[in-house]
Amino acid sequence: MQKQLPFEPNSPKRDSPIVPLESADALRERQILQREYLLHISREITAALDLPTLLQRVLRYAVEILAGQAGIIALRRADGTFFVHTSVGLPAEATAALGPFLERLPQTVEQGAATNWQFTDVREPLAGVSQATGMVLSHAVGLPLLLGDNFLGMVFVFRTTGAALFSNIDKVLLQAFADQAAIAIDNARLYSQMTSRANALSKLYQAGLALAEQSTDLDATLRQVVRLAKDAVEADGAAILMRENGRFTVSVAEGVLDNDDIRRKLADPSLTEPLSQCEPWVIKDIAEEPALAPLATHDIKTGVCVPIAVGDEHSGSMLVVTRNKYAFHSQDIALLNAFANQSALAIRNARLYHDLSVQHKRLSAILANSADGILILDAAQRVQDFNQAIARMTGWDVQAAAGQPGSAIVRLTSPQGAPVPLPPPEGPHTTAEGYLTRRDGERGPYVSISLSPLRDAQGQAIGAVMNVHDLSAFREAEELKSTFLSVISHELKTPVALIKGFAETLSREDATPDAQTVREFGHIIADESDRLTRLIDNLLMAARVEAGGIALSPVPEVPLDKLAEQAAAAFREQTDRHQIDVEFPPDFPLITADPHWLRQVLDNLLSNAIKYSPNGGRIVIKGWYDEANVHVSVSDEGLGLSQEEQQRIFTRFYRAPDKKRISKGAGLGLYLCKAVVEAHGGQISVRSEEGKGTTFAFTLPRQSRPLTQETAHE
């Protein structure tokens, strides 16, 4: 028959103290009941695995068994001091007042370790508690919580003044209870640790899978791996060393390893060499490892190093450390090793993505900055992408052109305007030449096009690359060459023919010219000879400009206004249909320049103004200045120039098509004018309107840069 306990575990605490029993039978009955009660509550305690709940039960049962008024559980820290973890019968302010009592415990433990303690008078150290509660706690008993040699803490039960002292029987029974409570507390701790590790393992496993599937940022992946590993085993620091150019270097670090001094030490090959091994390594005492001893100066005591590898590819190592000795258990090592294996996939994926990203950026930079146009086509010959050179040549942007047939974006015509088909990616003819037709229908540059097939790993065509090379400069050079030969042959042939014709006439035996005829023929021969000399001089000067410079003979204080007056006076003698005016302010500044070449510029501009104003009109040479420069312009009321002609007017050998019939020339005059002005550090420009005349203006610096005998043509 089950005996009734004196009070149930959940019954209210009794206020009356335990009264010594006089009858031996009654005492035995009481002991039997206490043992049964102890067995009952021990079973309940050992069934609890949640540590805070368990400690609360331990203390409540202890207070009830001893018929106390209050109690505490004081757990022991690593430094030997105690702290209140749980209390019963005491408000929070009273618990805070237990400091003087707890301060005496380390000394008490040293004097009577692993024994029961009964304190017959604790009123003085508990005076703060009495003030906070109004309850005078006069004596106490302490129950050590021991697990082998491991002293976990103590349970204290307090009684008030007037209550009976604790009996030896009570202490023996309670010691047995405390032993079972210590086992239960340790089980709860182990359960808590195992639960924590199991949760960490689950999180790490899931994190590893997520990293392997999704991570593309190498640095972010490494940092996440280190952070998760450090937190999973409650370590003080972690780092990942990656293989770079055959050496292991620190890529990322967390906690105590995230330190500049430690990073420098880990950069030492003699230290990283042991960490680069392919097997897990438990470092029980870092100070005893010669290679790792430098880390001990940072109070790092224990570590684990696990390899990061996929198959036979050992790409790095993960080092996890703590400041506690022998802190890692076998399950920690297994956990870190499993996580390193999972993380290796993520790290490899991130590294591959990083390498591909670098290659992609490099190829994109080459594509974007290539002078040639590059266009990517898919298998159906539709546009996928192209670079800025294509956009500049064709006038199309990528967004508008994407998905369009390549032949709609790159359209070629021959010099005669006939369509030129694009070449196939493969075959005997994979190139074509012609003028590009821009998006707006205007003629673009003259280009050469080639197509190359793109193939997959199986050799199947998946698209093509179109390369568009601008041949405009080459074609212009060919046209210039043709123009040069045409002009030179014409310009040389005409004066030579005149000289030869008049010389042969004068030398004929049957001719008897009078003196006037001889003089006229002589003047013509002399004029044509001068014309040849000027042409040859211009050709030589043009060649000199192309070679990199022209010869200048600068002198100080050159009066541009006087040079303009002299040029105007000379040309007034050559025309009676033009009014040539010179307009310079009286204080026009003097400059350092070559007066011979500047006179050539003025003569050339005046000559053009007269030639291309066949109906006469006013020609004005005007000068003005500002703080930095002097300005000179020559304006006429002649035929004018189109916009296209203005863009090309200073090009060597260029002559406006509709002006060729008006006057002769090699197309070198304005080209040389530009070279002379720029050699002086100035600029020349043209402003014109067809049918309303033209103005050429040049600017020279007032404070000229140093001019030498050979000034580069810039």
584 assigned to some structural domain: yes
Question: Which of 548, 580, 601 is at the close of a domain?
Answer: 548
Whether 700 shows a pLDDT value over 90: the answer reads yes
* CATH code, domain carrying 582: 3.30.565.10
- Quick one: tokens of 621? 């040479």
Same domain, residue pair 537 and 425: yes
Does one domain contain both 229 and 177?
no
Band of the pLDDT at 12, cuts 50, 70, 90?
very low
In DSSP terms, which residues pair with 214 in a beta bridge? none
Q: What is the DSSP code (8-state) at residue 706?
A: P
Identify the domain containing residue 141 by its residue range. Answer: 24-192
More confident residue, 330 or 641: 641
More confident residue, 28 or 644: 644
| 3-class DSSP string for 492-509 | HHHHHHHHHHHHHHHHCC
Q: Are residues 40 and 182 in the same domain?
A: yes
* Collapsed DSSP state (helix, strand, coil) of residue 169: helix
- Residue 113's pLDDT band, with cuts at 50, 70 and 90, is very low
Q: What is the pLDDT of residue 427?
A: 58
44 pLDDT band, cuts 50/70/90, is low
Lowest mean pLDDT among 69-73, 445-449, 481-485, 638-642: 481-485
Q: Is the pLDDT of residue 176 over 60?
A: yes
Asked if pLDDT for residue 705 goes beyond 60, the answer is no
Residue 260: per-residue pLDDT: 84
Q: What pLDDT score was predicted for residue 695?
A: 93
16 within a domain of the structure (yes/no): no
Q: What are phi and psi of 687, to 5 degrees?
A: -135, 125
Residue 352 domain-assigned (yes or no):
yes
Three-point CA angle 475, 479, 481, nearest 5°? 115
pLDDT > 90 fraction of the chain, expressed in percent and rounded: 8
Which comes out higher in pLDDT, residue 466 or 495? 466
The 10s digit of each residue's pLDDT in 188-244 is 777 777 776 677 667 666 666 656 555 567 777 788 888 888 887 888 899 888 877
H or E element, residue 228:
helix 218-232
Residue 713, pLDDT score: 39
Within a domain: 405: no
Residue 112 burial (CB < 10 Å; 0-12/13-18/19+)? exposed
Alpha helices by DSSP H, listed for 395-514, are 398-401, 406-409, 472-507
What CATH number should be reported for the domain holding residue 533?
Answer: 1.10.287.130
pLDDT at position 108: 60
Question: Could you tell me the CA-to-CA distances from 513 to 201, 488, 506, 522, 652 in Å, in that order?
Answer: 122, 33, 7, 12, 43
624 and 525 assigned to the same domain: no
pLDDT range class, residue 277, cuts 50, 70, 90: confident
Amino acid symbol at 238: A
CA torsion, ordered 335, 338, 344, 350, to nearest 10 deg: -60
**CA 151, CA 75: separation in Å to the nearest integer?**
9
Residues 168 and 257 grouped into a single domain? no
Query: What pLDDT was estimated at residue 207?
Result: 64
Whether the model clears a pTM of 0.75, i.e. scores above it, the answer is no
User: Is residue 369 one of the residues assigned to a domain?
Assistant: no
Q: Are strands 383-386 and 313-322 parallel, antiparallel or unpaired?
A: unpaired
Looking at residue 565, its pLDDT comes to: 92
C-alpha R_g of the chain: 52
Q: What are phi and psi of 155, to 5 degrees?
A: -110, 130
Per-residue model confidence as pLDDT tens digits over 363-384: 777 777 787 888 888 888 898 8
Q: Could you tell me which residue, 662 or 401, shows the higher pLDDT?
A: 401
Percent of the chain at pLDDT exceeding 70 = 78
What are 150-161's pLDDT values in tens digits? 788 888 888 888
pLDDT above 60 (res 22): no
What per-residue confidence (pLDDT) applies to 34?
Answer: 64
Helix (H) or strand (E) holding 326: none
Q: Are residue 175 and residue 278 in the same domain, yes or no?
A: no
Residue 13, pLDDT above cutoff 70: no
More confident call, 176 vs 603: 603
578-583 vs 617-625, strand pairing mode: parallel
d(CA 472, CA 476): 6
Angle, in degrees to the nearest 10, between helices 330-369 and 218-232: 170
Q: For position 109, what pLDDT does the model report? A: 60
Same domain assignment for residues 179 and 219: no
Q: Where does the pLDDT of residue 559 fall: very low under 50, low under 70, confident under 90, or very high at 90 and above? A: very high
267 and 277 co-located in one domain: yes
Domains: count for the chain: 4
Whether residues 533 and 557 fall in one domain:
no
Rounded average pLDDT over 99-107: 76
Would residue 706 count as lying in a domain? no
Burial class (CB in 10 A: 0-12, 13-18, 19+), 669: buried
Same domain, 454 and 571: no
The reported pLDDT for the residue numbered 551 is 72
- Say whether both 534 and 585 belong to one domain: no
Q: Which of 338, 356, 374 is the last residue of a domain?
A: 356
Domain CATH number, residue 45? 3.30.450.40
Q: Is the pLDDT of residue 714 over 50?
A: no
On whether residue 445 sits in a domain, the answer given is yes
Residues 150 and 280 in one domain: no
Number of alpha carbons in the 13 Å side-chain half-sphere of residue 713: 17
Residue labelled with tokens 């029974």: 173
pLDDT of residue 211: 62
Can you name the residues that pair with 353 across neighbouring β-strands? Answer: none
Mean pLDDT along residues 51-61: 78
User: CA-to-CA distance for 555 and 593, rounded, in angstroms?
Assistant: 6
Residue 497 CB neighbour total at 10 angstroms: 11
Rounded CA-CA distance 233/673 in Å is: 83
Dist CA 629 CA 682 (whole Å) = 9
Output the average pLDDT for the chain.
Answer: 78
C-alpha closest to that of 63 among 90, 101, 96 = 90
Under a CB-based contact definition with an 8 Å cutoff, are residues 309 and 242 in contact? no
Q: What is the pLDDT of residues 531-558, one digit of tens each?
A: 677 667 766 666 666 656 667 788 888 9
Alpha carbons 625 and 560: distance in angstroms, whole number: 11
Q: Which of 312, 336, 356 is the last residue of a domain?
A: 356
201: in domain? no
Rounded CA-CA distance 587/564 in Å is 15
pLDDT at 680: 87
